[in-house]
Amino acid sequence: MTELPLPVKAAKVNARNVQVYYGQNHAIKDVNIDIPSESVTAFIGPSGCGKSTFLRCLNRMNDTIVGCRVEGRIEIDGEDIYDRRVDPVQLRAKVGMVFQKPNPFPKSIYDNVAYGPKIHGLTRTKAELDEVVEQSLHKAALWNEVKDRLAAPGTGLSGGQQQRLCIARAIATSPEVLLMDEPCSALDPIATAQVEELISELRNQYTVIIVTHSMQQAARVSQRTAMFHMGIVVEEGPTDKMFTNPDDRRTQDYITGRFG
């Protein structure tokens, strides 16, 4: 538990002594973690261990929760994201997020993807916006399925398509970090396979952090894994090592299904 994270090359995100409180409840304790860029990092751990809470600290989504307080230091590209000068709204354009349940807006597929670029003024002309929408849908591996019905409502897609639409929506603002909070928990195995494949491809361009309850998923898509338990990071390291030869007893027990 006292073991420090392994030195990591080109860390995108550095967290030091992060504490999160929900009112009186101390939800995250002394989390230290470095997350390398252009890779997939998985957060695993039993329910209520604080992995989603920590994930939401990384784009300051916890700011929207009343009574939530974050202490410590979280840096992205060496810049403290909880600094007074940082605008959380700008930060979230840079750190995109995909949620547990697909949550497309009740708008057309096109408008769903164009939402981010529009509010941030990322494009100057309609043609540019069209281009961004198409690119994002391509990257989310959804373009071929929806190119003929961009004006149809996003809520009319299947669950897996909706989740990929949400990924496309997040990609459209050109984020550097992509946070995924159990993105496949509401999907069937086929849709899960598609999204996992997509995550593997996204690694080439983005720093992806994924919270998952599925050990297999963590093993399949991630390069590094962090094990959370009772609000602390029990162990963190390369995924191969975590799954074959973990240092911590609790990691071993959790991965082999003895608790959690």
Partner 1 sequence: MSVGLLLLIVIAVAALGYGLGRRRALASVQGDLRRLHSLPGYYGQSVFILTAAPALLVMLAWLLIQPLVIENHVISTIAPGSIADGSSTSLVLSDVRRMAGGLDALVARSSLSEGDIAALDANSTDVRGRLAEVGVALASDVDPAVFETAKAYRLILRTALLIMTTVVVAVTLAGLFFSLSRIRPDYRARNVSERAVIALLIASSFVAVMTTVGIVCSLVFETWHFFRLYSPEGFFFSTVWNPQFRGGSDLGIWPLVWGTLYVSFIALLVSVPIGLLAAIYLAEYASKTVRAVVKPAIEILAGIPTIVYGLFALITVGPFLRDYFAAPLGIGSSSSSVMTAGLVMGIMLIPFVSSLSDDIINAVPQSMRDGSFGLGATQSETVKQVILPAALPGIVGAILLAASRAIGETMIVVLGAGAAAKLSLNPFEAMTTITVKIVSQLTGDTEFGSPETLVAFALGLTLFVFTLALNVVALYVVRKYREQYE
Q: Which residues bind partner 1 (CB under 8 A)?
A: 59, 61, 64, 66, 89-94, 96-97, 99, 101, 103-107, 115-116, 119-120, 155, 166, 169-170, 173
Q: Which is nearer to partner 1, 171 or 199 (CB)?
A: 171
Q: How far apart are CA 134 and CA 99, in angstroms?
A: 22
Q: Minimum distance from CB of 31 to partner 1 (Å)?
A: 21
* Alpha carbon distance 1, 20 (integer Å): 18
Residues ≥6 apart with Cβ < 8 Å to 109? 137, 146, 149, 150, 151, 152, 153, 154, 157, 165
Position 91: which residue type? Answer: L
Of the two residues 169 and 224, which places its CB atom closer to partner 1 in the complex?
169
| Nearest distance in Å: CB 3, partner 1 | 32
- Shortest reach from residue 243's CB to partner 1, in Å: 30
Query: Which of 4/66 has CB closer to partner 1?
Result: 66
CB of residue 97 vs partner 1: minimum separation in angstroms? 4
The residue type at 247: D
Nearer to partner 1, 139 or 229 (CB): 139
